[in-house]
Structure 1
């Protein structure tokens, strides 16, 4: 495995600082970086060794960051709004790209981060050269809400909140509440990404476990069927909600091979994609 350089960065935003980490397999790398968007209880650290392994397997820089209120980033000043998926794509991710100089990027999101990756691809046009979703939710499904209710019970009266605090510190209760309260709110029940999917014209790789406790196969079907660009779907056998841990080798191989098959990253190719959106 080639040596991977690792660098940390702090990103300024209007609401506070965001923590980011970069894994680069080469001193100079002109290929579009893969930007990781974490799940509802996640942060940079919960990706574990996956970013380094992905950088090695793909030959691309990999960047992950803690959303506001998560991990090492500053506390969130308020409750999470019901537009938080779209808001993240146009605020936190935008700040990250601007300050790290990530003009072109691959959006790779896990769980709700997958929804944010879809929103980012829809908003960014030709700058987003590819979309990868893993266990993403495209709408509010009864199965998703049932899984969250079960998790709420599991957190009650146990040391799980203390374990969550290992990653989020004294923000852990806010992180848990933001997940549960938002997804179970009646006002959020009609949320979906249908309009965003229609605006995604870059290639998409859609990964989902066949035993995902937070979403059925209807989600990858809706994502792959809804995007305007080409989509490859993989329903991973005997796999739950976190394929990059449960099936790490298989996911790394799938992603690296798929990235290698992307069209050349040239100005002409980007211009053709941009023209196709007008």
Structure 2
């Protein structure tokens, strides 16, 4: 058989993991690429209304593209994970980075890792990267992450509240066991007056691993000021990608570009860690 006639490799499929933290269930899945993957596991941290299922086919495509194991989980209050009692404190992003993320990774048996965080997940990744002192952390990919709270961010979250009351709730209910817990935990907390002062400058300054930051030029929840804040406070030089004609979800709206950027980033990490 000629190489061109060889059957195509099967795309990675999700394998569910049964995780428990303090007796509470955490929804989690892992995607294994063909062959024997080596190097860091890619850990996906979802957005403020996200879950394992809301990554759709991105984890499988990412595993196939990079040849790396991909792990994703739903934070408490999201997806099929156990609920998180309301109201959530304004420190909920910091709390998860400081108290839960490392425990989830340990429970899943994740060794060397690269965190890929989208939106709220990007903020959690930045906080963890700057504070945890994790020797197993090899890099950070921050997609449409929030480092500060802008007026456009609050406007977008208020608009989401209107959408939730006029159809968004039904669409999100397919992805969350308790959709009201997920939505109000996120939306209500961001709209609390004290949340507007969030500033991750201190955490950014503590990051010592390579950073790839991706944002859409038409992001409805943030402007290039987010990237400027990252550049200003990060002590190393990040790879910055501003994608034209793309909004808050580059991994969906410009998936091929994002997959290529992460793949190149993973190669860079491998080369620098030899």
User: Normalising to structure 2: TM-score of the pair?
Assistant: 0.91
CA 1:253–1:225 in structure 2 vs 1: closer, same or farther (change >3 Å)?
A: same
- Give per-residue Cα distances to partners, 1:77-132, cap 9 Å, x unaligned: 34212111121123332122111221311011001110011112121433211000
2:86–2:181 contact (8 Å) kept in structure 1: no
**What's 1:58 paired with?**
66
Give SS of 1:8's match. strand
1:126–1:202 contact (8 Å) kept in structure 2: no
Q: 144-153 vs 27-36, which deviates more?
A: 27-36
Distance 1:164 1:6 in 2: 21
1:32–1:60 contact (8 Å) kept in structure 2: yes
Distance 2:196 2:266 in 1: 34
Distance 2:254 2:171 in 1: 23
Aligned 1:61-72 pairs, distance under 5 A: 61-72=69-80
2:86–2:185 contact (8 Å) kept in structure 1: no
**What's 1:104 paired with?**
112
Q: 8-17 vs 232-241, which deviates more?
A: 8-17
**What's 2:152 paired with?**
143
Q: 159-168 vs 58-67, which deviates more?
A: 159-168
Distance 2:149 2:65 in 1: 34
**What's 2:255 paired with?**
248
1:204–1:224 contact (8 Å) kept in structure 2: no
**What's 2:142 paired with?**
133
Distance 1:40 1:154 in 2: 15
Shift of 1:178: 1.4
2:51–2:79 contact (8 Å) kept in structure 1: yes
Aligned length: 265
Match of 2:226 among 219, 222, 230: 219
Structure 2 unaligned segments of length 5 or more: list them: 1-7
Distance 2:149 2:235 in 1: 22
**What's 2:101 paired with?**
93
Tell whether 2:161 aligns with 1:152. yes
Shift of 1:195: 0.8
Distance 2:13 2:169 in 1: 33
Distance 1:228 1:101 in 2: 30
Aligned-residue RMSD, C-alpha: 1.6
Q: 190-199 vs 79-88, which deviates more?
A: 79-88
Give SS of 2:173's match. helix
Shift of 1:265: 7.4
Q: 200-209 vs 223-232, which deviates more?
A: 223-232
Give SS of 1:222's match. helix
Tell whether 2:213 aligns with 1:190. no
**What's 2:242 paired with?**
235
Shift of 1:19: 0.7
Distance 1:47 1:193 in 2: 25
Structure 1 unaligned segments of length 5 or more: list them: 270-278
- Give per-residue Cα distances to partners, 1:13-50, cap 9 Å, x unaligned: 12611010001114533311010000011100000000
2:45–2:73 contact (8 Å) kept in structure 1: yes
